[in-house]
Amino acid sequence: MGLGAAGLLLQSCGQSQPDGGMMGSGDAASRVYVAPGTHDEMYLFCSGGFSGNVTVYGIPSGRHLKDIAVFSQYPEKGWGYAEETLPMFNTSHGFVPWDDSHHPEFSQTAGVPDGKWLFINGNNTPRIARINLATFETDEIIEIPNSSGNHGSPFTTMNSEYVVASTRFSVPIPQEDVAIKSYKEKFKGTLTYVKVDPENGDMDIAFQILVPGLNYDLSHSGKGPSHGWSFFTCYNSEQANSLLEVNASRNDKDYIAAVNWKLAEQYVAQGKAREMAVSYMDNHMDEHTRAGVSEERTSVKVLDPADCPEMIYYLPTPKSPHGVDVDPTGEYIAAGGKLAAVIPVHSFSKMLKAIEDRAFDGDVNGIPVLRYDAVLAGEVKDPGLGPLHTEFDDKGFAYTSSFISSEIVKWKVSTQTVVDRIPTYYSIGHLCVPGGDSMKPWGKYVVALNKITKDRYLPTGPELSQSAQLIDITGDKMKLLLDFPTIGEPHYAQAIPASILAPRSVRFFKIEDNASPFVTRSEKDARVERKGNEVHVYMTSARSHFAPDNIEGIRVGDTVLFHVTNLEQDWDVPHGFAVMGARNAELLIMPGETRTLRWEPTQAGVIPFYCTDFCSALHQEMQGYARVSPVGSTTELSWSLGD
Ligand SMILES: [Cu+2]
């Protein structure tokens, strides 16, 4: 039945839409059909762009499995509402409740995604988040100082020694009140290396490199022979500060910055970095209390290339490059020039030779520019219009997205020759081959992450869902299998076999490990305590009641903190908690976890509260009352259950 329905759906699409490259509908339906009760083959982690969060889909079905709240308050998860989650949003600018998330990036071991963590950048207020892939929750958000527009981030090195961050917008560093026209003299960029603890994933900024004032756009790290280097695209070599669409498009070539980070580590060890006073926040979700802790950091080590010879070189790259992608062998470095007629593919071994031969073509603020012909492996001709990003398969082929011509172009890495192309609907940005930026692409699919949807789905007013497309790459010709809508902009995505993640997925939090200072471990410990104007309710929830469920003695003017512990020790039994008139939130509490809701009642009366997450046949009975008396009332504080 499912097969027939899916087939019909695809057929009806095929009749009203161009179906360039589409597999026969029956074949496509069978390739994406995941029977009810069975599981997808892979997880796809898709950033939400302006949503600030991450969405998880099953591949090949396109099933929407979960939203992971990261940089944006998200009511469905209570993220940014429950008191325990608020510190995760702290920055040097204060509480920032909504950001723009772009590049999910798996942690790697020996160049292969290891399924431990997913890193993602906050683009607007520069930050990197780390998601725990056992809980699918955000465990850390670290702010990046001396940065503005954290776009080229958080690309990982082969063993996740570092995740990197580069400034899209150059700014005065340190920030100061100067004329914008002083751009060329005063503005700088930074490349930041964030150390990742191999045991627990904890992130700390190891060092930053101060670089000339260009726009640093994207990055990838070397692997295999090029391990120890990272590559950053930069545009605006014109150093324009206004009307960049014209003024930053004049030069035929901009650059890829190649950074020898192992050498940078040595310079730091030799004391060549200067300590710079800064302020930035490092926010952790404590594993045992399951509460956020926010710490300010006040210093960062900064390397100046002028003191650090041989640490950084510029590779000329046509024209306004965007993505920079290193193939699985670590030898080829492809750049997507938004305005380029070709895809330049640099050779890492030629780059080393060019450095040895001093094959330089001038410098930028003292940083040598290597000769284009001395580093180039070759150019991909006819790559489509507006090539942006490249991912790789396990058979020596590359797949490049071309935004303007809305297509994916397949080319052979060793010869740089185009072998196939397929249209996308519409305006593709990033694309994702599972493992396609690592040393072990799993191949099989490429997912097109499209900016524009237009007529692909039923109209839903001015705002349309954005869209991903699943394309088969197992044969010589790419074949379109499936369109599926996404939450927010599907900016970039990474996919990993389910067999790596699913066995490690946490089912509930053990109540005996709950180290929250506000935990209530059993119903007999449930209580209410007054501390001045603060009333702390130590409450438990279990199918199908709260303890206590009758509370008296609260007064208008009190701040009531409901610390609700979900006592369930079973998979998929969260409880919710909502109290009438609470202006900030409700709660969603996972089994074994404690979450706190702040409530400031403004009116005397008897106020109901109830469970909002359907939990049992008697979910509708899961309710209680809080009596609120006027200011100055002498009603005694009391609580009960079952009286
Ligand atoms: Cu419930």
Q: How far is the CA of 529 from the centre of ligand 1 (A)?
A: 24
Read off the pLDDT band of 19 (50, 70, 90).
low
Q: How far is the CA of 640 from the centre of ligand 1 (A)?
A: 19
Q: How far is the CA of 616 from the centre of ligand 1 (A)?
A: 7
Distance spanning both ends of the chain, measured CA to CA: 53
Q: Which of 33-47, 244-258, 356-370 has the weakest average pLDDT? A: 244-258
pLDDT of residue 340: 85
Is pLDDT of 14 > 50? no
| pLDDT tens track for 211-231 | 999 999 999 999 999 999 999
Q: How far is the CA of 588 from the centre of ligand 1 (A)?
A: 10
* Look-up of token digits 């790596």: 500
Q: How far is the CA of 615 from the centre of ligand 1 (A)?
A: 4
In angstroms, the CA 117 to CA 202 distance is 11
Is pLDDT of 151 > 80? yes
pLDDT of residue 155: 97
* Nearest-10 Cα torsion for 567, 568, 569, 574: -120
In angstroms, the CA 432 to CA 410 distance is 13
Q: How far is the CA of 523 from the centre of ligand 1 (A)?
A: 15
Per DSSP, the three-state class of 263 is: helix
List, edge to edge, every strand of the sheet that includes 54-59.
64-68, 54-59, 42-47, 493-497
Q: How far is the CA of 589 from the centre of ligand 1 (A)?
A: 10
Q: How far is the CA of 553 from the centre of ligand 1 (A)?
A: 25
pTM score: 0.94
| pLDDT tens track for 20-54 | 677 777 899 999 999 999 999 999 999 999 999 99
pLDDT of residue 338: 83
| pLDDT tens track for 60-101 | 999 999 999 999 999 999 999 999 999 999 999 999 999 999
The residue-averaged pLDDT of 428-450 equals 97
- The pLDDT > 90 percentage for the chain reads 92
In angstroms, the CA 262 to CA 227 distance is 9
Is pLDDT of 297 > 70? yes
Alpha-carbon radius of gyration of the chain: 27
The residue-averaged pLDDT of 561-581 equals 97
Read off the pLDDT band of 513 (50, 70, 90).
very high
Q: Which residues of 365-403 are buried (b: 16+ CB within 10 A; e: fewer)?
A: eebbbbbbebbbbbebeebbebbbbbbbbbeebbbbbbb
Read off the pLDDT band of 12 (50, 70, 90).
very low
The residue-averaged pLDDT of 440-452 equals 96
Is pLDDT of 545 > 80? yes
Q: How far is the CA of 617 from the centre of ligand 1 (A)?
A: 10
The number of beta carbons lying within 10 Å of the beta carbon of residue 460 is 10
Q: How far is the CA of 551 from the centre of ligand 1 (A)?
A: 19
Q: Which residues of 507-544 are buried (b: 16+ CB within 10 A; e: fewer)?
A: ebbebeebebebbbeebeebebeeeeeebbbbbbbbbb
Q: How far is the CA of 608 from the centre of ligand 1 (A)?
A: 15
Is pLDDT of 17 > 70? no
Q: How far is the CA of 103 from the centre of ligand 1 (A)?
A: 36
Q: How far is the CA of 562 from the centre of ligand 1 (A)?
A: 16
Q: How far is the CA of 612 from the centre of ligand 1 (A)?
A: 6
pLDDT of residue 36: 97
Q: How far is the CA of 635 from the centre of ligand 1 (A)?
A: 30
**For the chain, what is the mean pLDDT?**
94
Q: How far is the CA of 587 from the centre of ligand 1 (A)?
A: 11
Q: How far is the CA of 573 from the centre of ligand 1 (A)?
A: 8
| pLDDT tens track for 592-636 | 999 999 999 999 999 999 999 999 999 999 999 999 999 999 999
- The pLDDT > 70 percentage for the chain reads 97
Q: How far is the CA of 162 from the centre of ligand 1 (A)?
A: 42
The residue-averaged pLDDT of 130-157 equals 97
* Look-up of token digits 């939090």: 509
Q: How far is the CA of 574 from the centre of ligand 1 (A)?
A: 7
Q: Which amino acid is at 194?
A: V
pLDDT of residue 339: 86
Give me the phi and psi of 376, to 5 degrees please: -80, 130
In angstroms, the CA 227 to CA 225 distance is 6
In angstroms, the CA 508 to CA 319 distance is 51
515 sits in the region (left: phi over 0; alpha: psi -120 to 50; else beta) called: alpha
